[in-house]
Amino acid sequence: MNRIIYLTGILSACCFILSGAFKILQLMGAPLLLMSSAVFGCLFVILFTVSKFRDRYIHPSESEKINKAVEDFENK
């Protein structure tokens, strides 16, 4: 999953930079590169958010597990 997130971020940045270069050099394809940059950027944000959500709530760290166990013990 991390490779996919990294790849979409790199593709988004590269397409964005290339679209700027194409626009400055007045070459064809700048709008297409800008659109692909937007698509990869949105995909990056979605995948990054899902990854962070899953790490935080589905696979909590050891300290969060310990805190939850202490809270449960105190509530009993």
Give CA–CA dist 71/60, Å, rounded: 15
pLDDT band for 59, please (50, 70, 90 cuts). low
In the structure encoding, which two tokens stand for residue 45, read together? 């944000």
Alpha-helix runs per DSSP H in the chain: 2-24, 30-53, 62-75
pTM above 0.85, yes or no: no
| Chain segment 11-52, per-residue pLDDT in tens | 999 999 999 999 999 999 999 999 999 999 999 999 999 988
